[in-house]
Amino acid sequence: MKVASKLCLTLAVAAMVAANARADEVTDWNQTLFRSGLMTNPTTSPLVTSRVAAIFSAAVFDAVNGIDGRYSPIHVTPAAPAGASRRAAAVQAAYASMLLLYPTATYPSLKAALDGRRAASMAVIAADPHETASSIASGLAWGESVAAAIFAWRSTDGFTPPPLPFLGGTAVGQWRPTPPGFLAGAAPQFAYMTPWVLDSPAQFHSLAAGPPALTSARYATEFNETRTMGSLTSPLRTADQTLYAFFWNSTTVGSLWNGVALSLLEGDDEGHGSTHRRHGSLLENARRLAILNLAMADAAIACWEAKYSIVAWRPITAIALADTDGNPATAPDTTWLPLLVTPNHPEYPSGHSTVSGAAARVLARFFGQRARFTVDSDLMLGVTRSFRSFSGALDEVTNARVFAGIHFRAACEDGQVLGGAVADHVLSNALLPAGGDDEDDDGQAPRR
CATH no. for residue 28?
Answer: 1.20.144
Apex 73 CA angle, 67 and 74, nearest 5: 130
CATH number, position 378:
1.10.606.20
Q: Say if residue 122 is in the same domain as residue 196.
A: no
Contact yes or no for 391/413 (Cβ under 8 A): no
pLDDT score of 191: 98
Q: How many domains does the chain have?
A: 2
Cis amide leading into 103 (omega within 30): no
Q: How far apart are CA 321 and CA 300, in angstroms?
A: 29
- 25 belongs to a structural domain: yes
pLDDT at residue 305 is higher than 80: yes
C-alpha distances in Å from residue 410, one per residue of 153, 174, 395: 36, 16, 13
Max distance between CA atoms of the chain, in angstroms, equals 75
Q: How confident is the model at residue 33 (pLDDT cuts 50, 70, 90)?
A: very high
Q: Where is 427: in which H helix or E strand? A: helix 409-429
Q: Give the domain extent around 234.
A: 188-253+291-429
The size of the chain, in residues, is: 448
pLDDT score of 23: 62
User: Angle 25-35/253-269 helices, nearest 10 degrees?
Assistant: 160
pLDDT score of 114: 95
- 219 belongs to a structural domain: yes
Q: How far apart are CA 201 and CA 210, in angstroms?
A: 16
pLDDT score of 109: 85
- 262 belongs to a structural domain: no
Q: Say if residue 28 is in the same domain as residue 89.
A: yes
pLDDT score of 40: 79
| Domain end position, chosen among 136, 157, 178 | 157
pLDDT score of 441: 45
Which residues, other chains included, contact 57 with Cβ-Cβ below 8 Å and sequence gap of 6+? 30, 286, 289, 290, 292, 293, 294
pLDDT digit string, tens, across residues 97-138:
999 999 999 888 889 999 999 999 999 999 999 999 999 999
pLDDT score of 110: 87
Q: Say if residue 136 is in the same domain as residue 196.
A: no
Q: How far apart are CA 189 and CA 375, in angstroms?
A: 30
For residue 47, give the amino acid letter. Answer: L
Specify which residues 369 forms β-bridges with: none
Nearest to 75 by CA among 142, 159, 153: 153
Q: Say if residue 424 is in the same domain as residue 327.
A: yes
Specify which residues 375 forms β-bridges with: 385
pLDDT at residue 56 is higher than 80: yes
Q: Say if residue 88 is in the same domain as residue 223.
A: no
- DSSP-derived 3-state class of residue 228: helix
pLDDT digit string, tens, across residues 392-409:
999 999 999 999 999 999
- 12 belongs to a structural domain: yes
Q: How far apart are CA 251 and CA 40, in angstroms?
A: 7
Q: Say if residue 142 is in the same domain as residue 206.
A: no
Q: Give the residue-averaged pLDDT of 350-376.
A: 98
The DSSP annotation for 157-211 comes to: SS-SS--SPP----STTB----TTTTPPPS-GGGGTSPPSSSSSTTTTGGGG--P
Q: How far apart are CA 207 and CA 203, in angstroms?
A: 9
Q: How confident is the model at residue 418 (pLDDT cuts 50, 70, 90)?
A: very high
Q: Say if residue 303 is in the same domain as residue 389.
A: yes
pLDDT at residue 239 is higher than 90: yes
Q: Say if residue 135 is in the same domain as residue 20.
A: yes
pLDDT score of 334: 98
pLDDT score of 20: 45
pLDDT score of 209: 93
pLDDT at residue 419 is higher than 50: yes
pLDDT at residue 17 is higher than 60: no
Contact yes or no for 30/16 (Cβ under 8 A): no
pLDDT score of 437: 54
pLDDT score of 268: 59
| Domain end position, chosen among 157, 178, 210 | 157
Q: Say if residue 247 is in the same domain as residue 200.
A: yes
Q: Give the residue-averaged pLDDT of 73-93.
A: 97
pLDDT digit string, tens, across residues 181-211:
999 999 999 999 999 999 999 999 999 999 9
Mean pLDDT, all residues of the chain = 91
pLDDT score of 436: 63
Q: Say if residue 198 is in the same domain as residue 336.
A: yes
pLDDT at residue 330 is higher than 50: yes
pLDDT at residue 380 is higher than 60: yes
Min mean pLDDT across 24-33, 117-126, 218-227, 280-289 is at: 280-289
Specify which residues 386 forms β-bridges with: 374
pLDDT digit string, tens, across residues 157-166:
999 999 999 9
Side-chain-side CA neighbours of 3 within 13 Å: the count stands at 0
Residue 422 Cα to chain centre, angstroms:
13
Q: Is the dihedral of CA 100, 102, 104, 105 positive or negative?
A: positive
First-to-final CA distance of the chain: 45
Contact yes or no for 345/186 (Cβ under 8 A): yes
Q: How confident is the model at residue 217 (pLDDT cuts 50, 70, 90)?
A: very high
- 19 belongs to a structural domain: yes
Min mean pLDDT across 38-52, 156-170, 263-277 is at: 263-277
Q: Say if residue 246 is in the same domain as residue 346.
A: yes
- 282 belongs to a structural domain: no
158-161 long-range Cβ contacts below 8 angstroms, 24+ apart = 158/189, 158/192, 158/193, 158/194, 159/51, 159/189, 159/190, 159/193, 160/189
- 178 belongs to a structural domain: no
Q: Give the residue-averaged pLDDT of 31-53.
A: 89
The model's pTM: 0.92
- 284 belongs to a structural domain: no
Q: Say if residue 103 is in the same domain as residue 10.
A: yes
pLDDT score of 279: 36
pLDDT at residue 275 is higher than 60: no
| Percent of the chain whose pLDDT exceeds 90 | 84
Which residues, other chains included, contact 238 with Cβ-Cβ below 8 Å and sequence gap of 6+? none
